[in-house]
C-alpha cells in the first residue's frame, strides 16, 4: 500500500521514515496540538485521578490506578505510549512517542527523563525526515534522573539506568548501566 493511502501514524508505528514533504505530515502537528491541549489540563491538576484520566485520554488507553504520575509531563502525541501497572513517573519527564513507547509493570522513572522514540537522519539533505524507533522498558526497570533513552532501545527487566546516562543501545536484563554513551557497570 502506498504512503498516500496508509495513515501516517500507522506508518510511524511500523518504523517507516517520514519525509518532510509527506502529504500527511500536517497530521503530526495537528495531533501534537490536540495533545498539548490535554497536557495543559493534566499539568495544572494536583488530583491523581484527574491526572490519570487526562493521561488516559492522551494515550487512548486506561491508566491503571496503581500508576502514579507527577506532573509536569510532556508528550508530543500520546497514542503510541503504553503504560503498565504500578508505574511511577516523576516530575518533568518528556516522551516523544511517535515511534512508540512501551513501559511495562513496576517501572520507576525518575525526574527529567527523556524517552525519545524518534530522531532524524544525520545527512543534512535528509535531516528534516522523521525516523521512528520503538522504546521498550521492561518490568521492574529503574530509570534514573536526567536519563535520555534514544529511539529503538529496549531496557531489560530489572535493569537500572544510572542518573545522567544516555542510552543508545539495548540494555540486557539485570544490569546497571551508566555514562555517555551508557555502558554496563555491573550485573545484578
**Which residue reads 530509570 in cell numbers?**
143
- Choose the catalytic residue: 5, 80, 120, 128: 120
Strand stretches in the chain, DSSP E: 68-69, 73-75, 81-83, 88-89, 93-96, 101-103, 108-109, 114-116, 118-119, 131-132, 135-137, 142-143, 148-149, 154-155, 160-161, 166-167, 175-178, 183-187
Return all residues near 29 (Cβ < 8 A) that are at least 6 apart.
none
Is 128 a catalytic site residue?
no
Active site residues: 120
Amino acid at each position: 500500500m502506498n504512503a498516500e493511502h496508509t495513515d501516517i501514524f500507522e506508518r510511524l508505528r511500523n518504523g517507516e521514515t517520514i519525509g518532510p514533504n509527506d502529504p500527511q505530515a500536517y497530521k503530526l502537528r495537528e495531533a501534537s496540538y490536540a495533545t498539548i491541549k490535554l497536557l495543559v489540563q493534566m499539568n495544572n491538576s494536583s488530583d491523581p485521578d484527574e491526572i490519570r484520566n487526562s493521561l488516559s485520554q492522551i494515550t487512548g488507553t486506561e491508566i491503571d490506578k496503581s500508576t502514579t504520575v507527577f506532573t509536569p509531563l510532556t508528550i508530543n502525541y500520546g497514542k503510541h505510549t503504553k503504560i503498565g501497572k504500578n508505574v511511577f513517573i516523576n516530575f518533568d519527564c518528556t516522551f516523544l512517542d511517535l515511534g512508540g513507547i512501551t513501559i511495562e509493570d513496576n517501572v520507576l522513572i525518575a525526574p527529567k527523563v527523556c524517552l525519545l522514540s524518534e530522531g532524524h537522519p544525520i545527512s543534512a539533505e535528509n535531516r528534516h525526515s522523521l525516523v521512528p524507533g520503538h522504546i521498550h522498558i521492561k518490568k521492574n526497570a529503574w530509570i534514573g534522573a536526567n536519563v535520555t533513552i534514544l529511539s529503538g532501545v529496549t531496557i531489560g527487566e530489572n535493569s537500572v539506568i544510572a542518573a545522567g546516562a544516555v542510552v543508545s543501545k539495548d540494555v540486557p536484563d539485570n544490569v546497571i548501566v551508566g555514562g555517555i554513551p551508557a555502558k554496563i557497570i555491573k550485573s545484578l
